[in-house]
A and B are shown apart, each in its own frame.
Chain A
Amino acid sequence: MDKTDSELLETIADLHGIPEGSFNIRKNGKLMARNSTADIEIVPKKDKDGIDIIVKPGVVNKSVHIPVLLTVGDFKETVYNDFFIGEGADVTIIAGCGIHNDACGDAEHDGVHTFHLAKNAKVRYIERHYAAGDGTGKKSFDPVTNIYCEENASFTMESTQLGGVTSTVRKTYALLGKKAQLLVKEKILTDNEESAVTDFKVELKGEHSRADIVSRSVAKGRSVQNFGSDLVGLSECFGHVECDGILLGGARIISTPKIDAVSPEASLVHEAAVGKIAGEQLLKLMSLGLTEQEAENAVIKGFLN
């Protein structure tokens, strides 16, 4: 592991070296390190690139790290990871991807992640995307996340992309059973000519299922973000989507929320607000002695916390 690797690992997964417990570290399309435990088993796929992660029923307070590093240009991979979370298990999954591309060829990682949560299972899924490097090559992520929650299962997704990613198209789909819950907290920052497209589709199928999607984004430079969400309420359920965006420079944020209460018992809400930083916020911070630029940074930092 070299310096770039450890820096990337720290940024995307808070890792200082090799973690404990179950993990799978992938670098430039190859396995770098793996550890499978009795509680959380990691099995490489035979028919395509990727792994199966099997969490035994009842396993609680355990975590699994599956970071991916890309440090070369002219490289594109699609990886399929399937997660099977046993009944009553409660785990944290940390799945960051870091690209460091100094080359002029493009680097792209597309992860297709599918989660199957059995009854009463609980997952906190942390996904961080980060890119750096001085090359002219693009740095792209096109992740697909599919979530299937059985009765009373709960899935929390915290996804963060805070810079350097030339283009991303993120698709997330969830199907929620009875009393199942989905909570998504998304944070995106784009700058320069970057583009980010986010698309959520959630089917609230089971009675008393619940989905809460909160997206906070900051668009700088001439970047463009496109946020789309589609909530379908198929029974007595509650769904809420909130898209909150700050615009700077000549950037653009387009928010297209769609809600469809198929069942008359469904209660679905969407809120969207996009605009510049409020002038009074800047003035307040400047009156504390900050410059306008520092004030702007403080607002953004808090917003994306």
Chain B
Amino acid sequence: MLELKNISYTVQDENTGRRQDILKDLDLTFADKSINVITGPNGSGKSTLIKLIMGFEKPTAGKVLFNGEDVTMLGVTERARRGFTIAFQQPVRFKGITVKNLLELASGKRMDRDDMCDCLSAVGLCARNYIDRAVDGTLSGGELKRIELAMAVAKGGELFLLDEPEAGIDLWSFEDLVKIFDRLRDKTVIIVSHQQRILETADKIFLFDRDKVSAAERGEDMFALLTRRPALCRRNVKENCYG
């Protein structure tokens, strides 16, 4: 179980010196064996929250508890070793590091072709064509995104943080993506997504708005609400336009 207690994240603009709250007083709980989807407008702080959970940034206030342990001050490596596994919204490119290298680093062991095939076919890639490719700009956006997910599969873990896993992945492959989430049903999964098909798989949906979570309800109810009132997700963008 992952608990966020009174989490705030404030940044200071380097030029104006003005302070800006990106997240404010968040209290959220993500249960074991649950798929949680976070949705909400662009810039509402979804990725920021994922990064705080992984330890890339420290919250300016509040605590992060994992299975009762306070992990707020733990670094990225320690969290990774406790089972925190992240797939970035924007995958990182490396010069010269191959898919095979990354999968082995992720799994922490040597992998044979079958092991790699297992991780790559889960994301719809044929191992033969990819294991020796460098994870750099020569891969397409969708390929990079799939490899990012394959790394999460190879690493395994207890808490999965998947930031817009569907971004750049062709619509036709969504069902495969949903199958990956099914594989993770016995873990705690937090997915940031704007995609209807993914929202449908959620046990719980969280709607982010400017610096607060305005709703956290049962998956189906929230989904129905959002379909009826899509403006809930657009509020922030409009505010920026007219404000």
Is chain B found bound to chain A in the same assembly? yes
Q: Identify the A interface with B (CB < 8 A).
A: 216, 244, 278, 280-281, 283-292, 298-299, 302-305
Contacts A283-B76, A298-B97; A290 near B105 (Cβ below 8 A)? yes
In the complex, which residue of chain B has the Cβ closest to the Cβ of A285? Answer: B105
* A288 CA / B88 CA spacing, docked (Å): 12
Contact of B80 with A302 in the complex, beta carbons under 8 Å: no
In the complex, which residue of chain A has the Cβ closest to the Cβ of B103? Answer: A288
Contact of B106 with A288 in the complex, beta carbons under 8 Å: yes
Cβ 8 A contact of A284, one of B81, B92, B134: B92
In the complex, which residue of chain A has the Cβ closest to the Cβ of B81? Answer: A289
Contacts A288-B151, A289-B155, A298-B105; A281 near B96 (Cβ below 8 A)? no
Collect the chain A residues with CB atoms within 8 Å of residue B88's CB.
284
Contact of A292 with B77 in the complex, beta carbons under 8 Å: yes
Collect the chain A residues with CB atoms within 8 Å of residue B96's CB.
216, 302-305
Collect the chain B residues with CB atoms within 8 Å of residue A305's CB.
96
Contact of A287 with B95 in the complex, beta carbons under 8 Å: no
Contact of B92 with A302 in the complex, beta carbons under 8 Å: no
Considering only residues 85-116 of chain B, those with a C-beta below 8 Å from chain A are 85-86, 88, 92, 94-98, 101-102, 105-106, 108
B54 within 8 A of A: yes
Cβ 8 A contact of A302, one of B54, B85, B101: B101
Contact of B76 with A302 in the complex, beta carbons under 8 Å: no
Q: Identify the B interface with A (CB < 8 A).
A: 54, 56, 75-77, 80-81, 84-86, 88, 92, 94-98, 101-102, 105-106, 108, 134, 151, 155
Contacts A284-B88, A302-B101; A289 near B108 (Cβ below 8 A)? yes
Q: Nearest 3 CB-CB pairs, A to B?
A: A302-B97, A302-B96, A289-B80
Contact of A288 with B105 in the complex, beta carbons under 8 Å: yes
Contacts A283-B76, A286-B76, A288-B106; A298 near B101 (Cβ below 8 A)? yes
Q: Which of B76, B81, B84, B97 has the most CB of A within 10 A?
A: B76
Question: Shortest Cβ distance from A216 into chain B, in angstroms?
Answer: 8
Contact of B77 with A281 in the complex, beta carbons under 8 Å: no
Contact of A287 with B76 in the complex, beta carbons under 8 Å: yes
Collect the chain A residues with CB atoms within 8 Å of residue B76's CB.
283, 286-287
* A292 CA / B56 CA spacing, docked (Å): 12
* A289 CA / B80 CA spacing, docked (Å): 5
Question: Shortest Cβ distance from A27 into chain B, in angstroms?
Answer: 34
Collect the chain B residues with CB atoms within 8 Å of residue A299's CB.
94, 97
Contact of A280 with B92 in the complex, beta carbons under 8 Å: yes
* A140 CA / B113 CA spacing, docked (Å): 43
Contact of B86 with A287 in the complex, beta carbons under 8 Å: yes
Contact of A283 with B56 in the complex, beta carbons under 8 Å: yes
* A283 CA / B94 CA spacing, docked (Å): 12
Contact of B92 with A278 in the complex, beta carbons under 8 Å: yes
Collect the chain B residues with CB atoms within 8 Å of residue A278's CB.
92
Collect the chain A residues with CB atoms within 8 Å of residue B94's CB.
281, 299, 302-303
Contact of B97 with A291 in the complex, beta carbons under 8 Å: no
Cβ 8 A contact of B95, one of A244, A283, A289: A244
* A59 CA / B96 CA spacing, docked (Å): 34
* A291 CA / B86 CA spacing, docked (Å): 16
Collect the chain B residues with CB atoms within 8 Å of residue A288's CB.
80, 102, 105-106, 108, 151, 155
Contacts A299-B97, A302-B101; A286 near B80 (Cβ below 8 A)? yes
Question: Shortest Cβ distance from B38 into chain A, in angstroms?
Answer: 18
Q: Which of A290, A302, A303, A305 has the most CB of B within 10 A?
A: A302
Question: Shortest Cβ distance from B73 into chain A, in angstroms?
Answer: 16
Cβ 8 A contact of B77, one of A244, A289, A302: A289
Question: Shortest Cβ distance from A106 into chain B, in angstroms?
Answer: 34
- Known pairs A281-B92, A298-B105, A302-B134 / 5 extra A-B pairs, C-beta < 8 Å: A283-B92, A284-B88, A286-B75, A287-B54, A303-B96
* A129 CA / B10 CA spacing, docked (Å): 51
* A285 CA / B97 CA spacing, docked (Å): 11
* A285 CA / B155 CA spacing, docked (Å): 11
Collect the chain A residues with CB atoms within 8 Å of residue B108's CB.
288-289
Q: Which of B77, B80, B81, B98 has the most CB of A within 10 A?
A: B77
In the complex, which residue of chain B has the Cβ closest to the Cβ of A279? Answer: B56
Question: Shortest Cβ distance from A301 into chain B, in angstroms?
Answer: 8
In the complex, which residue of chain A has the Cβ closest to the Cβ of B148? Answer: A284
Collect the chain A residues with CB atoms within 8 Å of residue B95's CB.
216, 244, 302-303
* A283 CA / B76 CA spacing, docked (Å): 7
Pairs across A and B, CB under 8 Å, 16 listed: A216-B95, A285-B105, A286-B76, A287-B54, A287-B76, A288-B108, A289-B108, A289-B155, A290-B77, A290-B80, A292-B77, A298-B97, A302-B94, A302-B95, A304-B96, A305-B96
* A302 CA / B135 CA spacing, docked (Å): 10
* A278 CA / B88 CA spacing, docked (Å): 15
Question: Shortest Cβ distance from A3 into chain B, in angstroms?
Answer: 29
